[in-house]
């Protein structure tokens, strides 16, 4: 939970609501997942041995793949690029509709992203960057579900369970993990796991890396496991998986980045109730999520943009829940409100653009 004194960008998206300072926008967490500076290796080896290994090029790096000509550090930069896509959206609310894609171009993009996640897993294993290995498995699970829909749920569940092994306090087998880097899962006929690598929460690992590393990986893994369970129609199990993340957020500071995680979890939990016909329990979760969004709208240090998006996300979820429970008139009223608000915003943007253009023309004429 790195806090900085100055914001990385203009505006109040990164301003903390509960204390002075600014959120670092996830830069600190990303540097824990992909250890560009080899801080863990330096702690394990000691500075003298580490820098001697760097000079002699003895540290693990990919010598045979497409990144063989890059330095170890540059390969880690490439690893981050493969793992984290540019089109990420705030929060992560599971929707069955997202699993269905008829556009061949969109399907091709999803397949490319799945291949990138598998390449990231291979690279992470070679570099010995095990937090990235856990995230790589999660991304394979996520992207496989988007490519294959419910038919890929079994493979996605296997991957996310392995991600939990890597992030857990036990041990895991590298050969078993690398099976997921292939385009086709084809384990040997006679395969016996040799789990000797300590997980990120194992005391042996915690000597060299922060507990936050494993918690970040566990949060992502439990979220994806819940999404897979929801895709399989196992709503109660999915709900428990979503709920298991909430205790890990109790001590997190208040900012739009972390509050988006809280909102998405509450909406996902509400949706598990809605899909089983329990609208009242679902609406309790939606109200908690909406309250977080409203706090950003009403707080002097809140992010108005994120607050409005949070509230809109909750309203859409409530509308679908109402429709699913036979209250279509109420659902349509909410959707109409959201559409009218969107049209009003677009009209306002056009007017502002026109005013700016007119001002430019006046300036040029003068």
The answer to the question of residue 226 being in a domain is: yes
Look-up of token digits 């995680």:
261
Count of CA atoms in the C-beta half-sphere (13 A) of 256: 24
| Among candidate residues 218, 144, 137, 128, the one with its CA nearest the CA of residue 180 | 137
**pTM, rounded to two decimals:** 0.88
SS3 15: strand
The residue among 196, 229, 250 that closes a domain is 250
The answer to the question of residue 20 being in a domain is: no
Residue 350 pLDDT: 73
The answer to the question of residue 19 being in a domain is: no
Residue 27 pLDDT: 84
The answer to the question of residue 53 being in a domain is: yes
- Are 229 and 319 within one domain? no
- Are 276 and 360 within one domain? yes
- Are 113 and 153 within one domain? yes
- Are 342 and 363 within one domain? yes
The answer to the question of residue 261 being in a domain is: yes
Count of CA atoms in the C-beta half-sphere (13 A) of 56: 8
- Are 47 and 144 within one domain? yes
Pairing label, strands 171-172, 22-23: unpaired
Q: Taking each helix axis from N to C terminus, what angle separates 104-127 and 72-83, rounded to the nearest 10 degrees?
A: 140
Q: How many residues does the chain have?
A: 366
Beta-bridged to residue 201, according to DSSP, are none
Q: Taking each helix axis from N to C terminus, what angle separates 72-83 and 130-148, rounded to the nearest 10 degrees?
A: 30
Q: How many CB atoms lie within 10 A of CB 93?
A: 21
- Are 241 and 356 within one domain? no
Beta-bridged to residue 197, according to DSSP, are 172
The residue among 187, 218, 250 that closes a domain is 250
pLDDT in tens, the chain (366 residues): 678 888 777 777 788 988 888 888 888 888 899 999 999 999 999 999 999 999 998 999 998 888 889 999 999 999 999 998 655 555 688 888 788 888 899 999 999 999 999 999 999 999 999 999 999 999 999 999 999 999 999 999 999 999 999 999 999 999 999 999 998 888 888 878 889 999 999 999 999 999 999 999 999 999 999 999 999 999 999 999 999 999 999 988 898 989 999 999 999 999 999 999 999 999 999 999 999 999 999 998 888 889 999 999 999 999 999 999 899 999 999 999 999 988 887 777 776 666 666 566 656 655
The answer to the question of residue 55 being in a domain is: yes
- What are the C-alpha distances in Å from 246 to residues 110, 140, 280, 307? 29, 24, 21, 20
- Are 42 and 168 within one domain? yes
Number of domains in the chain: 2
The answer to the question of residue 30 being in a domain is: yes
- Give me the DSSP letters along 162-226: HHHHHHSSSEE-HHHHHGGGSSS----SS------EEPTTSHHHHTTS-HHHHHHHHHHHHHHHH
The residue among 229, 250, 271 that closes a domain is 250
Alpha-helical regions (H) of 244-278: 256-274
- Are 85 and 217 within one domain? yes
Parent domain of 163: 26-250
Residue 56 is classified by DSSP as: T
- Are 221 and 126 within one domain? yes
- Are 198 and 86 within one domain? yes
């Amino acid at each position: 939970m790195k806090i900085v004194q100055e914001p990385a960008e203009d505006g109040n998206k990164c301003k903390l609501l509960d204390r002075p300072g600014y959120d670092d926008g996830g830069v600190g967490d990303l540097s824990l997942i992909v250890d560009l500076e080899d801080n863990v290796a330096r702690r394990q080896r000691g500075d003298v041995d580490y820098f001697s290994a760097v000079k002699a090029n003895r540290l693990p790096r990919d010598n045979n793949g497409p990144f063989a000509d890059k330095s170890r550090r540059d390969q880690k930069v490439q690893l981050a690029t493969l793992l984290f896509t540019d089109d990420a959206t705030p929060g992560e609310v599971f929707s069955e509709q997202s699993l269905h894609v008829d556009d061949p171009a969109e399907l091709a993009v999803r397949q490319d992203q799945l291949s990138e996640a598998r390449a990231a897993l291979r690279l992470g294993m070679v570099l010995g960057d095990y937090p990235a290995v856990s995230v790589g498995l999660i991304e394979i699970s996520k992207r496989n579900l988007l490519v294959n829909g419910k038919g890929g749920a079994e493979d996605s569940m296997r991957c996310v369970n392995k991600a939990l092994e890597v992030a857990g306090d036990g041990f895991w087998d590298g050969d078993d993990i690398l099976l997921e880097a292939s385009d086709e899962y084809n384990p040997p006929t006679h395969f016996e796991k040799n789990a000797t690598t300590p997980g990120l929460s194992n005391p042996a690992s915690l000597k060299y890396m922060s507990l936050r590393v494993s918690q970040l990986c566990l949060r992502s893994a439990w979220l994806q496991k819940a999404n897979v369970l929801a895709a399989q129609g196992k709503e109660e199990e999915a709900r428990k998986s979503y709920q298991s993340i909430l205790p890990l957020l109790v001590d997190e500071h208040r900012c739009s980045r972390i509050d988006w995680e809280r909102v998405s979890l509450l909406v996902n939990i509400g949706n598990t109730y809605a899909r089983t016909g329990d609208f009242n329990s679902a609406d309790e979760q939606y109200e908690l999520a909406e309250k977080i969004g409203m706090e950003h709208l009403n707080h002097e240090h809140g992010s108005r943009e994120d607050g409005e998006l949070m509230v809109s996300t909750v309203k859409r979820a409530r509308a679908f829940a109402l429709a699913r429970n036979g209250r279509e008139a109420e659902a349509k009223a909410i959707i109409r409100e959201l559409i009218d608000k969107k049209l009003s915003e677009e009209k306002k943007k056009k007017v502002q653009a026109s005013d700016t253009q007119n001002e430019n023309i006046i300036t040029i004429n003068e």
